[in-house]
Amino acid sequence: MAGEESALLLFEDAMLFTYSAALRAVAALGVADHLADGPRSSADLSVACGAGADGLSRIMRLLAGRGVFHEDAMGRFHLTRKGDALRTAAPLSARAAVLMLTDDMFWTTSHQLATNVCDDDPSFEKLFGMPLARHFDDPEREALFYEGMATVSDAEDQLVAGSYGFPRQGTVVDVGGRSGSLLLTVLRRNPGLHGILFDRDPVPTGRPLDIQDVADRWETAEGDFFIEVPPADVHVLKRILHNWDDDNSVRILTNCRRSLEPDGRVLVIDAVIPDGNAAHQSKSMDVMMLAALTGRERTAGQLDRLFDAAGLRLDRVVPTPSVMSIAEGVAC
Close Cβ partners of 311 (under 8 Å, ≥ 6 residues apart): 254, 257, 331, 332
270 vs 66: CA distance, rounded Å? 28
Active site residue 242: yes
Point out the catalytic residue in the list 34, 135, 235, 242. 242
- By the 8 A CB rule, do 319 and 325 touch? yes
Alpha-carbon separation of residue 63 from 35, 103, 127, 209 (angstroms): 14, 19, 31, 37
**What is the Cα 313 distance to its own chain's centre?**
26
- By the 8 A CB rule, do 222 and 196 touch? no
Alpha-carbon separation of residue 58 from 34, 55, 80 (angstroms): 17, 5, 17
Strands (E), the chain: 40-41, 69-71, 76-79, 170-175, 193-199, 218-222, 232-238, 260-270, 312-319, 325-331
SS3 156: helix
The interaxial angle of helices 181-189 and 139-161, nearest 10 deg, is 20
Catalytic residue numbers read: 242
